[in-house]
Amino acid sequence: MLLGTITIKVDEYLKKRMSKVKINWSEYIREAIKRRVELEERKGAAEKLLESLKTRRHVVPSGFINETIREMREAR
């Protein structure tokens, strides 16, 4: 996997405080960015779904809900 590079700047006081904490800051920041990107993607998908529901472009087929509930009950 190829990794890209990003750079952040923090003030000297924060940098000194960070050096006293035994954390792999690169890994921590990568994970934080990954979580945020996933959150934003989910928000975008939810907004798109809500918009399609408002404009009635997304239609649930007749009987779908009853069929799904029946399948869930039978799977127990």
User: Looking at the domain assignment, is residue 6 inside a domain?
Assistant: no
SS3 15: helix
Measure the CA–CA gap between 3 and 32, rounded to whole angstroms.
16
CA dihedral 53, 57, 61, 67 (to 10 degrees): -30
pTM of the model: 0.64
User: Looking at the domain assignment, is residue 5 inside a domain?
Assistant: no
User: Looking at the domain assignment, is residue 67 inside a domain?
Assistant: yes
pLDDT at position 23, please? 96
Residues 9-51 have pLDDT tens digits of 999 999 999 999 999 999 999 999 999 999 999 999 998 888 8
Q: Are 29 and 8 in contact (CB under 8 A)?
A: yes
pLDDT at position 49, please? 83
Measure the CA–CA gap between 45 and 51, rounded to whole angstroms.
10
Residue 61 DSSP class: P
> Quick one: pLDDT band at residue 58, thresholds 50, 70, 90?
low
Domain count within the chain: 1
Q: Which domain holds residue 49?
A: 12-75
User: Looking at the domain assignment, is residue 30 inside a domain?
Assistant: yes
